[in-house]
């Protein structure tokens, strides 16, 4: 970055709604409000049906968050007093859901090349108490080792749960995230590729879970609403929220195309830097690019947290990490489970040097070039 330059404001993420559809959204929300039915209505049902069709599964059920989705699935398969293997590189909600469902999360290490769970490390952690594996499609990259994980689950009679909070529309060999395991769990948080503000979704081919989830998400009620059949919670998605999801799903393929184009521009720009390397994506995988993670070379005298702070303070560029500290080094997990540094060495070493560049649908070439030039200015 030579000579004078104009300081830009580049956020790390930003939700996208097409301007021409905002009036339509407001109109549909107005109809919802006039109908008097704000939950468990036709809009949520429409979103469930269209989302299931998009993912390629028989059923989907809307809830209020991905955390609720995970806990609901874990309760359905009954992990109480059992163990569930979870990657340490995930948002803490993935492992917390196991605790909420009465189980014990067993944290596993990751592969440096993908930042996703390492099947070899998983094998070392399977015991007679293991009930399931949660695989996290980190940053929108379908875990490239899904075949190995599926085989491990088949060999050990385990349930494979996809935490697809980052991976709306991501595919491997044409099959979408959320259709690859026994169950898929999605988030519609504001930063996600597809958002409803707050919300989540479970995808499945198991009709029995569908009935269980319908009950548990609404206080455990049965078809006779006076009869409480399960220990439930208030996890329903509102009709207003569902309207947002219906429109977001219509635009999802277009948004994924734009995110992949942005990723290609970053990848090309990083070639000139050399010491910041993007995660390799196999030709068989379509990344959804919820985030664009890159690794700082070991020979560079900085880490992700220092570079993140510098980019924000000097250039007004918001970046981030996925995720440091990893779950096993969070104070609550060290206190409850006795985790210490050195127990999951790959994650500990790699995640200190992983930085996520700004990624959102409306980021333009000027902002992309500004990010790349700022990185060149600091790393070369």
- The pLDDT tens digits for 28-75 are 999 999 999 999 999 999 999 999 999 999 999 999 999 999 999 999
Indicate the helix (H) or strand (E) that contains 154.
helix 146-156
Are 241 and 337 part of one and the same domain?
Answer: no
Tokens linked to 326: 């990893």
Provide DSSP, 65-116: -HHHHHHHHHHHTT-TT-EEEEESSS-THHHHHHHHTT-EEEEE-B-TTTSS
The CATH number given to whatever domain includes residue 102 is 3.40.640.10
Number of domains in the chain: 2
pLDDT level of residue 300 (50, 70, 90 thresholds): confident
In a domain, 222, yes or no: yes
- Whether residue 7 is contained in a domain is answered as no
Write out pLDDT tens, residues 312-328: 999 999 999 999 999 99
Check residue 76 and give its pLDDT. 98
Asked if residue 235 and residue 101 are part of one domain, the reply reads yes
Domain assignment of residue 91, yes or no: yes
DSSP code at position 127: -
pLDDT at residue 89 is higher than 50? yes
For residues 61 and 122, membership in a common domain is answered with yes
Residues 268 and 296 in one domain: yes
Structural domain including 97 reads: 19-248
Last residue of one domain, picked from the residues 229, 248, 267: 248
Statement to judge: residues 233 and 203 lie in one domain: yes
Query: Looking at the structure, do residues 79 and 223 belong to the same domain, yes or no?
Result: yes
**What pLDDT, in 10s, does the model give residues 111-152?**
999 999 999 999 999 999 999 999 999 999 999 999 999 999
Q: For residue 373, what is the domain's CATH number?
A: 3.90.1150.10
Share of the chain above pLDDT 90, in %: 93
Tell me, yes or no, whether 160 and 275 share the same domain: no
- What tens digit of pLDDT does each residue of 241-264 get? 999 999 999 999 999 999 999 999
Does 244 share its domain with 267?
A: no
In a domain, 291, yes or no: yes
The mean pLDDT value of the chain amounts to 96
Exposed, middle or buried: residue 50 (CB in 10 Å: 0-12, 13-18, 19+)?
middle
pLDDT (average), residues 97-102: 98
Residues 308 and 277 placed together within one structural domain of the fold = yes
pLDDT in the model for residue 3? 47
Claim to verify: residue 228 and residue 313 sit in the same structural domain: no
The answer to whether position 178 is within a domain reads: yes
| pLDDT surpasses 90 at 299 | no
């Amino acid at each position: 970055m030579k000579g004078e330059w104009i300081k830009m404001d580049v956020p790390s993420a930003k939700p996208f709604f097409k301007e021409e559809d905002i009036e339509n959204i407001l109109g549909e929300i107005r109809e919802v409000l006039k109908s008097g039915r704000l939950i468990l209505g036709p809009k949520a049902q429409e979103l469930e049906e269209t989302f299931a069709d998009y993912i390629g599964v028989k059923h989907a059920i809307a809830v209020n968050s991905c955390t609720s989705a995970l806990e609901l699935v874990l309760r359905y398969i009954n992990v109480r007093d059992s163990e569930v293997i979870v990657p340490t590189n995930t948002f803490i909600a993935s492992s917390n859901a196991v605790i909420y469902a009465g189980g014990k999360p067993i944290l596993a290490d990751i592969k440096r090349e993908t930042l996703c769970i390492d099947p070899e490390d998983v094998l070392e952690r399977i015991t007679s108490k293991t009930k399931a594996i949660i695989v996290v499609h980190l940053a929108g990259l379908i875990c490239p080792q899904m075949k190995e994980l599926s085989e491990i689950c088949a060999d050990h009679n385990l349930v494979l749960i996809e935490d697809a909070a980052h991976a709306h529309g991501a595919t491997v060999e044409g099959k979408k995230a959320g259709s690859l395991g026994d169950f898929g769990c999605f988030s519609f948080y504001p930063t996600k590729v597809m958002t409803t503000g707050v919300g989540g979704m479970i995808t499945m081919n198991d009709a029995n879970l569908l009935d269980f989830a319908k009950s548990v998400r609404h206080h455990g009620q049965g078809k006779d609403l006076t009869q409480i059949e399960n220990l439930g919670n208030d996890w329903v998605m509102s009709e207003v929220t569902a309207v947002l999801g219906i429109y977001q799903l219509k635009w999802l393929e277009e948004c994924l195309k734009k995110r992949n184009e942005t990723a290609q521009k970053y990848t090309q720009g990083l070639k000139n830097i050399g010491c910041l390397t993007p995660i390799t994506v196999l030709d068989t995988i379509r990344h959804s690019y919820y985030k664009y993670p890159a690794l700082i070379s070991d020979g560079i005298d900085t880490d992700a947290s220092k570079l993140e702070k510098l980019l924000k303070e000097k250039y007004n560029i918001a970046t981030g990490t996925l995720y440091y500290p990893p779950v096993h080094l969070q104070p609550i997990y060290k206190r409850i489970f006795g985790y210490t540094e050195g127990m999951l060495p790959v994650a500990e070493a790699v995640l200190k040097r992983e930085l996520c560049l700004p990624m959102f649908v409306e980021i333009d070439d000027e902002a992309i070039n500004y990010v790349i030039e700022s990185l060149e200015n600091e790393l070369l």
